[in-house]
Amino acid sequence: MADDDTRKVSQKDLAAMIDRTPGALSQAVRRTHFCAGYPVFEWAEWHPGGKQVMHYEVPVQVLKELLPAEEYTSFGIFD
């Protein structure tokens, strides 16, 4: 797995991982602020219409920091 690999993560799942509400995550993305110390605005994949985030492309390295090893497979992370 390359260091720059990412995985698609829903807003709900990412908010839970960083212990924030989905609303706080959304607000951070729209204002290009960090959320819980993470550059979530850089990970946002916007709908072509540009008004809604479809999902987040979270680096695997960050997912490994946030998730217990038993949850890796649910995001397609294999060691």
> 37: alpha, beta or left, given left = phi > 0 and alpha = psi -120 to 50?
left
pLDDT tens digit string along 17-60?
999 999 999 999 999 999 999 999 999 999 998 889 999 999 99
CA distance 49 to 61: 30
pTM: 0.89
For residue 47, the model assigns a pLDDT of 94
Q: What pLDDT band is residue 1 in, cutting at 50, 70 and 90?
A: low
DSSP state of 35: B
